[in-house]
């Protein structure tokens, strides 16, 4: 077992599955990485280095560079999936989902249901989420809640390298379309990752930390901010239980509800916008199914309902941070009706 | 005269332990204790373990309160003569420095706790070797579904005066997930090749559950290579085995099922930590593990009964043998030990389940030291 980055974990997952199953292909903009440059193909290994080495080992029939046209990438991948391949398509920024939404929302997600259950669409769409690089409003969003709201799609949002590898292998072996969200600031995060292939089942949350006072649910980068806040709060005598759902569709409702039944207090932290988002969805779930257990109102700590600002100072205010999370937990913990 | 004061510090158990949590003090401040007395409980990555007194003394000052989490080597309590002045104890506490291992020591320690791999007929076999090369080494064989980490409370203690080796059996831990037939004969053959490859001519052999049956069979086949044999809740002493455990363990894929199954292993389920459950889940998620466990379970426990018997082998052995069992074992009943009680030493431990080497580590370590000390 070695310590690996999320980037390495994802690359390993792709290599494992491409070796295991010749039907697995990779398709997207510049996935060979370096075409047309002095170093040639594979010089970069995709814009993020995740697909490094794939073109050399698997060739251009399985590692397909496309023109910059998201609707064609998703259309080709959906068609390939429904006719027997298992494509891993790359939508470089999830912000571009609008350009190809018909292919995802009305084709890929619906095939199984439009053809009497006879069609399968084993398609994975890898896509980047997250603010924090001053990339402005069109390259900084985290729209996993939009994917989550579409029946027929599964959605994974890993927070660490161990989960990233296991969830990506599970996504590739899954017979339904999976949107796989990678946070753009987390590719270099390291943790221990087995060299062997493994799968993490969808709909099984990870309990990151045990605690009896307040339940905090968070995804992706927010898991790390929440852990920071929980360390501080523990010093004050407040023990937080941190739940990382890992997939938003399916969602592990039981783990969240069981925890709130015990703590009676819930804070949901989400880097995405609040209206019709995951924080709102989980708050509603708990209000609906664990109302009697609640000893304080549910608090949501999210981005505001506004596009991601370009100015670094404003962007910093936009993203929930450990201080805001800790303040919300203190408020919920000290609540007196 | 601070020389008469001694420190109780946070121990290091297992490969990954960096800190531990003080769950409970079993002795009050000021209490006297004798060797073997329980002093405190510490939560680890698997189950909560007891720290026992090695000498006699007085628990002059408890420094680490219950609930505190502290790094390895941190001061937990001060042992002093009953008449030691408080000021002297204060000075000892304030002057205590957690021994920061020098960089050389760190490398040495890290190497000492690093697993290695053998190539057995093209297949990977992981093992952990700890201890000085002197003396007859002790070899540990774990049970069904476990791995070398199940000896985390025993291997460091036994390694104080001998070389110790714990293996991951095929299908388990970091070893190959290709188990072939997965039966007694094929697993014993792998273990025999492995000890030969490591240059072990003679060994003290300890096996738990399925590993107990392996150890006994190896001893019967190669009595000249086995100095003593310790069998902990071994398989092969009778037909009964908990089908709900075996099937449940093979099937468990989620945290809750896995926790429920692991709780069957111990007398007090509250001792099982979340990390122990998570570690089992991580192992079970690896490609090939479920198939390997199914193969082994079919070969060993066909139709929900034990298909292997080692009674004849064990009673015929002409070497020191001991059997250790938990009275409350819910996987293999402790009554199975009756089959050999007339011929070998049997220790049945109270308030103990299927994992005596973890639940009653101090007691089991003493028994293993005792038997190994005789040869």
Asked whether residue A94 carries a pLDDT value surpassing 50, the answer given is yes
On whether any CB of chain A is under 8 Å from the CB of B255, the answer is yes
Q: Is residue B108 part of a domain?
A: no
The CATH code of the domain that includes B74 is 2.40.50.100
Express each pLDDT in A148-206 by its tens digit.
999 999 999 999 999 999 999 999 999 999 999 999 999 999 999 999 999 999 999 99
The CATH code of the domain that includes A46 is 3.40.50.970
A234 and A283 both lie in a single domain: yes
Instruction: Give me chain A's average pLDDT, please.
Output: 96
Residues on chain A touching B256 (C-beta within 8 angstroms): 254
The residues of A annotated with a catalytic role in the active site are 139
Of A199, A210, A254, the CB nearest to B285: A199
Query: Mind telling me how many Å the CA of A199 is from chain B's nearest CA?
Result: 6
Q: What pLDDT score was predicted for residue B1?
A: 42
Q: Which residues pair with B47 in a beta bridge?
A: B272
A48-57, B100-109, B300-309: range with lowest mean pLDDT: B100-109
Q: What pLDDT score was predicted for residue B3?
A: 57
A302 phi, psi to nearest 5 deg = -135, 175
Name the residue range of residue B339's domain.
115-373
Express each pLDDT in B331-343 by its tens digit.
999 999 999 999 9
A18 and A82 both lie in a single domain: yes
Instruction: Give me chain B's average pLDDT, please.
Output: 91
pLDDT class of B2 with cuts at 50, 70, 90: very low
Q: What pLDDT score was predicted for residue B16?
A: 75
Q: What pLDDT score was predicted for residue B275?
A: 87
Burial (0-12, 13-18, 19+ Cβ within 10 Å), B369: middle
Of B177, B254, B287, the CB nearest to A204: B254
* Closest alpha carbon to A24 in A205, A168, A127, A152: A168
B94 and B124 both lie in a single domain: no
Q: Cα B151 vs. chain centroid, distance in angstroms? A: 3
Global ipTM: 0.90
Q: Structurally, how many domains does chain A consist of?
A: 2
Closest chain A CA to residue B254? A204
B93 and B124 both lie in a single domain: no
A54 and A161 both lie in a single domain: yes
Q: Is residue B299 part of a domain?
A: yes
The CATH code of the domain that includes A309 is 3.40.50.920
Query: Mind telling me how many Å the CA of B287 is from chain A's nearest CA?
Result: 5
Residue that is last in its domain, among A144, A161, A193: A193
A273 and A227 both lie in a single domain: yes
- Distance between CA atoms of B152 and B145, rounded to whole angstroms? 16
A279 and A238 both lie in a single domain: yes
The CATH code of the domain that includes B216 is 3.40.50.1820
Cα separations (Å) of A47 from A8, A30, A33? 14, 7, 6
Residue to substitute from B67, B176, B287, B289, interface A, most A β-carbons within 10 A? B287
Q: Structurally, how many domains does chain B consist of?
A: 2
A297 and A260 both lie in a single domain: yes
Q: Cα A183 vs. chain centroid, distance in angstroms? A: 7
DSSP for B126-156?
Answer: EEEEES-S-SS-EEEE--TT--GGGGTTTHH
B3-17, B67-81, B223-237, B324-338: range with lowest mean pLDDT: B3-17
B155 and B279 both lie in a single domain: yes
Q: Is residue B243 part of a domain?
A: yes
pTM of the model: 0.89
CB contact under 8 A, B174 and A1: yes
Q: What pLDDT score was predicted for residue B374?
A: 55
Q: What pLDDT score was predicted for residue A318?
A: 97
B360 and B310 both lie in a single domain: yes
Q: Is residue B200 part of a domain?
A: yes
Q: Cα B84 vs. chain centroid, distance in angstroms? A: 37
Residues on chain B touching A196 (C-beta within 8 angstroms): 177, 286-288
A16 and A145 both lie in a single domain: yes
Q: Is residue A268 part of a domain?
A: yes
A164 and A138 both lie in a single domain: yes
Q: What pLDDT score was predicted for residue B104?
A: 47
On whether any CB of chain A is under 8 Å from the CB of B185, the answer is no
On the CB side of B255, CA atoms within 13 Å amount to 18
Closest chain B CA to residue A204? B254
Residues on chain A touching B65 (C-beta within 8 angstroms): none
Q: How many A/B residue pairs have CB atoms within 8 Å?
A: 27
Q: Which residue has the higher pLDDT, B106 or B237?
A: B237
Residue that is last in its domain, among A193, A226, A260: A193
B144 and B11 both lie in a single domain: no
Q: Is residue B202 part of a domain?
A: yes
Query: Mind telling me how many Å the CA of B73 is from chain A's nearest CA?
Result: 21
Q: Mean per-residue pLDDT for B290-312?
A: 96
CB contact under 8 A, B286 and A204: no
Name the residue range of residue A79's domain.
2-193
On whether any CB of chain A is under 8 Å from the CB of B287, the answer is yes
Q: Is residue B96 part of a domain?
A: yes
Express each pLDDT in B78-117 by its tens digit.
998 888 888 999 999 998 988 765 444 444 455 557 899 9
Q: Is residue B222 part of a domain?
A: yes
B13 and B139 both lie in a single domain: no
Q: Note the helical H segments in chain B.
A: 86-95, 103-112, 155-158, 184-197, 210-221, 243-251, 255-263, 274-285, 289-300, 311-316, 356-359, 361-373
């Amino acid at each position: 077992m070695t310590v690996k980055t999320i980037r390495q974990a994802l690359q390993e997952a792709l290599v494992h599955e491409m070796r295991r199953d010749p039907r697995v292909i990779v398709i997207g903009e510049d996935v060979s990485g370096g075409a047309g440059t002095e170093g040639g193909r594979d010089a970069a290994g995709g814009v993020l280095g995740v697909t490094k080495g794939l073109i050399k080992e698997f060739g251009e029939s399985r590692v397909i560079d496309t023109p910059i046209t998201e609707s064609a990438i998703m259309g080709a991948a959906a068609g390939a999936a429904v006719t027997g391949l298992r494509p891993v398509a790359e939508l470089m920024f999830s912000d571009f989902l609008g350009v190809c939404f018909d292919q995802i929302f009305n084709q890929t997600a619906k095939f199984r249901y439009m053809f009497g259950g006879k069609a399968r669409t084993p398609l994975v769409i890898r896509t980047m989420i997250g603010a924090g690089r001053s990339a402005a409003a069109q390259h900084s969003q985290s729209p996993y809640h939009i994917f989550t709201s579409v029946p027929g799609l599964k959605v994974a949002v890993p927070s660490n390298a161990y989960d990233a590898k296991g969830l990506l292998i599970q996504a590739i072996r899954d017979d339904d379309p999976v949107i796989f969200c990678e946070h753009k600031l987390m590719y270099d995060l390291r943790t221990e990752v087995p060299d062997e292939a493994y799968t993490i089942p969808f709909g099984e949350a990870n309990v990151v930390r045990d605690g009896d006072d307040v339940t905090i649910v968070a995804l992706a980068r927010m898991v790390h901010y929440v852990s920071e806040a929980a360390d501080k709060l523990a010093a004050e005598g407040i023990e937080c239980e941190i739940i990382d759902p890992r997939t938003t569709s399916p969602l592990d409702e039981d783990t969240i509800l069981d925890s709130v039944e015990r703590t009676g207090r819930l804070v949901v932290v989400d880097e995405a916008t609040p209206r019709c988002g995951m924080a709102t969805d989980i708050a509603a779930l708990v209000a609906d199914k664990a109302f009697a257990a609640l000893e304080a109102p549910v608090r949501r700590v999210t981005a505001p309902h506004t596009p991601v600002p370009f100015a670094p100072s404003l962007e910093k205010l936009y993203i929930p941070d450990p201080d805001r999370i800790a303040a919300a937990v203190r408020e919920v913990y000290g609540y007196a009706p | 005269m601070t020389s008469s004061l001694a420190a109780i510090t946070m121990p290091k158990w297992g490969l990954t332990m960096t800190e531990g949590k003080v769950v409970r003090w079993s002795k009050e401040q000021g209490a006297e204790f004798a060797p073997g007395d329980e002093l405190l409980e510490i939560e680890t990555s698997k189950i909560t373990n007891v720290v026992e007194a090695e000498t006699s003394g007085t628990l002059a000052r408890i420094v680490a309160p219950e609930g505190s989490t502290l790094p390895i080597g941190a001061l937990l309590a001060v042992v002093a003569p009953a008449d030691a002045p408080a000021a002297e104890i204060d000075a000892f506490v304030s002057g205590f420095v957690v021994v920061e291992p020098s960089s050389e020591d760190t490398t040495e320690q890290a190497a000492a706790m690093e697993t290695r791999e053998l190539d057995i007929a093209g297949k990977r076999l992981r093992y952990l070797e700890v201890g000085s090369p002197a003396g007859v080494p002790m070899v540990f064989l774990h049970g069904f579904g476990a791995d070398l980490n199940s000896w985390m409370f025993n291997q460091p203690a036994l390694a104080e005066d001998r070389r110790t080796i714990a293996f991951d059996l095929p299908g388990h831990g970091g070893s190959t997930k290709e188990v072939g037939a997965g039966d007694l004969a094929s697993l014993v053959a792998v273990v025999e090749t492995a000890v030969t490859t490591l240059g072990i001519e003679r060994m003290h052999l300890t096996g738990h559950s399925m590993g107990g049956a392996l150890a006994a069979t190896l001893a019967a086949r190669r009595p000249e290579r086995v100095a003593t044999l310790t069998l902990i809740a071994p398989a092969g002493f009778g037909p009964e085995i908990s089908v709900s455990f075996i099937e449940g363990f093979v099937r468990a894929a989620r945290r809750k099922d896995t926790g429920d199954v692991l709780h069957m292993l111990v007398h007090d389920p509250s001792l099982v930590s979340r990390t122990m459950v998570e570690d089992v889940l991580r192992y079970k998620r690896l490609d090939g593990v479920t198939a390997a466990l199914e193969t082994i379970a079919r070969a060993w426990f066909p139709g929900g009964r034990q298909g292997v018997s080692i009674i004849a082998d064990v009673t015929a052995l002409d070497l020191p043998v001991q059997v250790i069992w938990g009275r409350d074992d819910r996987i293999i009943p402790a009554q199975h030990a009756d089959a050999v009680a007339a011929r070998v030493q049997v220790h049945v431990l109270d308030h103990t389940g299927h994992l005596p080497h973890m639940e009653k580590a101090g007691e089991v370590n003493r028994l293993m030291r005792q038997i190994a000390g005789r040869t």
